[in-house]
């Protein structure tokens, strides 16, 4: 569904509640909350992920995975355009400086794609506000690391972005470019063991785990408005992203006979594991909107995208005392061209005192992956292809969808009721096996949103939306990949998509210049997709994507926007929910029924020390969470920033202290633990495993940001983005 850059004003169907004194930092509507990005100055110089981690119900873990109310699957809208992207990839490419606001849509209506089990994250970027030209430039530089864990390479952090806008009578042109280099040092401490019959193998490891990440993006948006009735929009997008993850680990393996207690084998070795992911993304879109004299509108749009994702995993097991002695070397390479096409036709008609909307959309995607797995056992031996781990996986998806919805605004009651029908066809073909698996689905996605203003300053809202979380192409690939020394990763072409019912009820109360928002919510998820482990060999676990039963979340989310004094503001948000999951894995090899309480807290406080000096501190905390086979530990990230404005606020200089550790806080580290036992009578009886790994990432990072605005940028720019980034 595309949204025009400019259109003739149409009354909003869902009225809004503004929730701060001078300029609204938070806006509450029936189906969403909108947050002004500028209030989170600690994110400046970073990416959109740094803004999201401050919002209520949103969390970011040690791996950069973003979750909303505990779910990490949702649709991304970038300036109104659907982008089926993984936020960990998309948002790490989008400069925080370019963002005007972020909308968290928790019960989306039928007009939107039903993708995303947690709802929708909608991002609005900046452009010029007045006629003529405007521009804003930003730069960031990182100071030398306080502690880089003696990693092989010192991390480098710097970025620059520039947004230009020109607006005339009929034309609006926006160009945005950005480069971001954001490395991070790290360390990994792990312990693992397997039991196969009477043979117990323990293989603890310790060493480096660091990331080098750099991104370059260009965006161009052109709007042409020949008259009040017609609007044309053209968008071009180009992005390149590279990420390298290095894990240099020392292993000390010991095998024991459980029957006798005797040590039957021991080996110490050095494992150097390098994963490099590269992506090139190109997108072009064209949209046209016509407004009739009756105020009805007709919109048509098309989008084409070509992406090329490639990379490799180099896994070397070396003699611990002589790195020239190769015990084993495996090399996995990936080459994946992806094409996407999307076309839509939508109409909106004023009728019965409200607005009736209807439309059709067609989506088509191909992903032709070429995967090669080569292995070398010992020095001097050739690097040969392993046939069972190499080949091609071709995936094609087609989606036809129709929707209709009606909304009406009355004095105290606003509502929208809609229904979307979708026919989805997915083909997964594997070569050289020449096997094709087809999945055809017909589904209905109803939605309802209501906002009731019982009295001034007090609003009640309720919503329901049925959603689908489509399986990523990576999770469908049946060819195994040696992710690192102790893991062999594999997808499942038979995976079913997750279906979820979202429901919520909330209340918003204004208290002078402050506001309190409380929301109760429910998520019911069918066909939960988990990445789970089982024993493959003594020191190798097979990590597999699989449908793992049913899951539910029942929780409460609270957000408070408080103006404590004229110079002191506090924004605090958080959620607590009860999570339950039950099901079976590997044809009843593992049966589970788990439940736990989970909570997260995001606090952001701002002090205007002087008219030109702002101090801001924020803390993000995520509690322990259970998984199908284990648990993830808590995750803590405190930050502090000071911003000085100069030259009539055109120039700002900011100092940031990220991931504050002070030598004693467990900041920016997370332990992941899994365990499993095969049941008697199954295909792999008498096998069990246990793993626990602590991922320790860099603390006490210091950055300097400089921003200069030639003219103020404050209005949204409809810039396109690439869908294929979800597969990066």
User: What burial class does residue 658 get, using C-beta atoms within 10 Å of its C-beta: 0-12 exposed, 13-18 middle, 19+ buried?
Assistant: buried
Helix, strand, or coil (residue 354): strand
At residue 258, φ and ψ (nearest 5 deg) are: -65, -25
Contact of 243 with 212, CB cutoff 8 Å: yes
Q: Which helix (H) or strand (E) holds 534?
A: strand 529-537
Residue 8 lies in a domain: no
pLDDT tens digit sequence for 398-407: 999 999 999 9
In a domain, 1, yes or no: no
Summarised one tens digit per residue, pLDDT across range 509-541 is 988 888 899 999 999 999 988 888 889 999 999
Buried b (16+ CB within 10 A) or exposed e, 211-237: bbbbbebebbbbbebeeeeebbbbbbb
Tokens of 418: 């809609």
710 in a structural domain? yes
- What confidence score (pLDDT) does residue 403 get? 98
Q: How far is CA 55 from CA 21, 23, 64, 117, 572, in A?
A: 19, 18, 15, 18, 8
Whether 728 shows a pLDDT value over 60: the answer reads no
Asked whether the predicted pLDDT for residue 164 surpasses 60, the reply is yes
What is the phi/psi pair of residue 390, to 5°? -125, 155
Q: Let me know: does 428 contact 493? Beta carbons within 8 Å.
A: yes
State percent of the chain over pLDDT 90: 55
What is the average pLDDT across 327-339? Answer: 93
Distance CA 549, CA 528 (A): 6
Q: Does residue 10 belong to any structural domain of this protein?
A: no
Comparing CA positions, the residue from 706, 713, 711 lying closest to residue 646 is 706
For residue 522, give the H/E element and its range: strand 514-526
- What CA–CA distance (Å, rounded) separates 601 from 483? 33
Residues with Cβ within 8 Å of 249's Cβ and at least 6 positions away in sequence, in order, are 188, 190, 205, 206, 207, 208, 209, 270, 271, 273, 485
Number of domains in the chain: 1
Cis peptide, bond prior to residue 432, ω within 30 of zero: yes
3-state SS record for 562-618: EECCCCEEEEEEEEEEEEEEEEEECCCCEEEEEEEEEEEEEEEEEEEEECCEEEEEE
308: Cβ–Cβ under 8 A, 6 or more apart, which residues? 279, 280, 335, 336, 337, 338
Is the CB of residue 113 less than 8 Å from the CB of residue 81? no
DSSP string, 29-82: ESSEEEEEGGG-GGGTTSBHHHHHTTSTTEEE-TT--EEETTB---EEEETTEE
Nearest to 183 by CA among 701, 641, 640: 701
Strand bridging mode 120-128 / 75-78: parallel
DSSP, collapsed to helix, strand or coil, labels residue 439 as: strand
> What does pLDDT average to over the chain?
86
The C-alpha torsion from 718 through 719 and 723 to 728, rounded to 10°, is: -140
Helix (H, G, I), strand (E, B) or coil at 386: coil
User: CB under 8 Å to 726, separation ≥6 — which residues?
Assistant: 84, 85, 86, 89, 90, 472
CA distance 145 to 229: 56
CA separation for the pair 585, 472 (Å, rounded): 20
Cα–Cα distance, 78 to 721 (Å, whole number): 7
3-state secondary structure labels for all residues of 175-226: EEEEEEEECECEEEEEEEEEEECCEEEECCEEEEEEEEEEEEEEEEEEEEEE
CB 316 within 8 A of CB 370: no
Report CA-CA distances (Å) from 639 to 40, 252, 342, 652, 653.
Answer: 11, 37, 41, 19, 17
- pLDDT at position 680 is 53
Report residue 116 as tokens: 């995303």
**Mean pLDDT lowest for which of 437-451, 563-577, 679-693?**
679-693
Nearest alpha carbon to residue 606 among 563, 662, 637: 563
Strands 120-128 and 99-105: antiparallel
The total of other beta-carbon atoms located within 10 Å of residue 434's CB is 8
Residue 617 belongs to domain with CATH number: 2.40.170.20
Tokens encoding 645: 């404005």
Count CB neighbours of 708 within 10 A: 15
Are residues 370 and 430 in contact, defined by beta-carbon separation less than 8 angstroms? no
φ, ψ for residue 565, nearest 5 deg: -140, 180
**2, part of any domain:** no
Q: Is the pLDDT of residue 434 over 80?
A: yes
pLDDT in tens, 651-702: 989 999 999 999 899 999 999 999 988 765 555 668 899 999 999 999 999 9
Confirm if 445 and 468 have CB atoms less than 8 A apart.
yes
Per-residue pLDDT, 68: 83
343-393: pLDDT as tens digits: 999 999 999 999 999 999 999 999 999 999 999 988 888 899 998 889 999
Q: What is the pLDDT of residue 11?
A: 38
Q: Measured between alpha carbons, how far is 81 from 287 in angstroms, rounded to an integer?
A: 11
Higher pLDDT, 25 or 173: 173
Range of the domain at 183: 16-727
Q: How far is CA 94 from the centre of its chain?
A: 12
434 within domain boundaries: yes
Q: Are 177 and 165 in contact (CB under 8 A)?
A: no
Residue reference for tokens 């979202």: 502
38 or 472: whose pLDDT is higher? 472
Provide, rounded to the nearest whole percent, the portion of the chain with pLDDT above 70: 89
Of 124-128, 338-342, 347-351, 627-631, the one with minimum mean pLDDT is 124-128
Strand-pairing partners, residue 583, are 592
pTM over 0.85: yes
In a domain, 663, yes or no: yes
The answer to the question of residue 7 being in a domain is: no
β partners of residue 614? 608, 643
pLDDT above 60 (res 637)? yes
DSSP codes joined into one string, 447-508: EEEEEEEEETTEEEEEEEEEEEEPPPHHHH--S-EEEETTEEEE--TTPPPEEEEEEEEEEE
Check residue 3 and give its pLDDT: 34
DSSP structural state of residue 293 = T
Torsion of CA 438, 439, 441, 447, to 10 degrees: -140
Number of H helices, E strands in the chain: 3, 43
């Amino acid at each position: 569904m595309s949204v025009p850059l400019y259109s003739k004003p149409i009354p909003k169907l869902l009225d809004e509640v503004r929730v701060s004194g001078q300029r609204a930092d938070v806006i509450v509507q029936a189906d969403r909350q909108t947050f002004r990005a500028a209030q989170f100055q600690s994110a400046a110089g970073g990416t959109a992920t740094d803004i999201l981690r401050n919002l209520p119900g949103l969390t970011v873990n040690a791996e950069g995975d973003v979750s909303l109310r505990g779910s990490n699957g949702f649709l991304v809208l970038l300036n109104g355009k659907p982008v089926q992207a993984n936020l960990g990839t998309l948002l790490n490419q989008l400069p925080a400086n370019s963002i005007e606001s972020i909308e968290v849509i928790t019960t989306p209506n039928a007009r939107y794609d039903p993708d995303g089990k947690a709802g929708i994250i909608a991002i609005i970027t900046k452009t010029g506000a007045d006629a003529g030209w405007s521009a804003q430039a930003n730069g960031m530089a990182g100071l030398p690391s306080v502690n880089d864990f003696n990693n092989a390479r010192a991390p480098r952090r710097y970025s620059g972005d520039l947004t230009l806008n020109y607006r005339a009578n009929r034309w609006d042109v926006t160009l945005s470019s950005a480069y971001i280099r954001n490395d991070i040092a790290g360390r990994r401490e792990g312990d693992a063991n397997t039991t196969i019959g009477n043979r117990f193998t323990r293989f603890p490891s310790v060493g480096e785990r660091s990331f080098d990440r750099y991104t370059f993006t260009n965006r161009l948006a052109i709007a042409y408005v020949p008259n009040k009735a017609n609007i044309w929009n053209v968008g071009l997008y180009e992005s390149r992203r590279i990420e390298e993850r290095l894990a240099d680990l020392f292993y000390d393996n010991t095998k024991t006979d459980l029957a006798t207690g005797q040590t039957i084998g021991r080996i110490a070795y050095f494992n150097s594991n390098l994963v490099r992911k590269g992506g090139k993304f190109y997108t072009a879109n064209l949209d046209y909107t016509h407004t009739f004299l009756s105020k009805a509108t007709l919109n048509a749009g098309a989008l084409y995208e070509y992406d090329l994702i490639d990379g490799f995993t180099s896994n070397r097991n070396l003699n611990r005392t002589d790195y020239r002695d190769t015990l084993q070397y495996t090399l996995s390479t990936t080459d994946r061209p992806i094409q996407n096409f999307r076309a839509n036709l939508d109409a909106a008609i004023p009728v019965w005192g409200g607005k009736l909307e209807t439309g059709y959309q067609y989506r088509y995607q191909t992903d032709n992956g070429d995967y090669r797995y080569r292995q070398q056992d010992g020095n001097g031996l050739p690097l040969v292809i392993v046939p069972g781990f190499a080949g091609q996986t071709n995936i094609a998806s087609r989606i036809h969808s129709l929707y209709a919805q009606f909304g009406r605004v009355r004095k105290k009651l606003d509502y929208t009721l809609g229904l979307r029908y979708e026919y989805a066809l997915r083909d997964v073909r594997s070569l050289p096996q020449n096997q094709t698996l087809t999945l055809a689905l017909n589904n209905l996605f109803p939605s309802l949103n209501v906002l009731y203003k019982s009295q001034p300053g007090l609003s009640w809202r309720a919503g329901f939306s049925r959603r689908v979380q489509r399986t990523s192409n990576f999770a469908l690939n049946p060819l195994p990949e040696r992710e690192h020394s102790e893991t062999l990763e594999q997808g499942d072409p038979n995976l079913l998509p997750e279906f979820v019912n979202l429901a919520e009820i909330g209340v918003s109360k204004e208290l002078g210049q402050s506001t309190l928002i409380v929301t109760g919510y429910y998520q019911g998820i069918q066909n939960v997709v988990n990445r789970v482990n089982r024993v493959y060999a003594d020191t190798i676990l097979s990590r597999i994507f699989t449908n793992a039963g049913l899951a539910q979340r029942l929780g409460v989310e609270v957000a408070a926007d408080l103006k404590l004094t004229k110079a002191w503001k506090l924004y605090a948000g958080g959620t607590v929910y009860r999570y339950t999951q039950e099901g079976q894995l590997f044809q009843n090899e593992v049966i589970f029924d788990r439940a736990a309480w989970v909570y997260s807290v995001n606090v952001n406080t701002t002090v205007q020390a002087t008219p030109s000096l702002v101090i801001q501190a924020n803390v993000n905390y995520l509690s322990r969470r259970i998984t199908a086979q284990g648990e993830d530990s808590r995750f803590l990230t405190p930050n502090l920033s000071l911003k000085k404005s100069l030259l009539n606020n055109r120039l700002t200089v900011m100092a940031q202290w990220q991931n504050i550790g002070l030598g004693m806080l467990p900041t920016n580290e997370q332990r992941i633990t899994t365990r499993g036992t095969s049941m008697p009578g199954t295909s792999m009886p008498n096998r069990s495993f246990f793993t626990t790994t602590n991922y320790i990432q860099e603390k006490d990072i210091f950055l300097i940001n400089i921003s200069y605005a030639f003219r103020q940028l404050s209005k949204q720019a409809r810039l396109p983005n690439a869908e294929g980034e979800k597969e990066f």
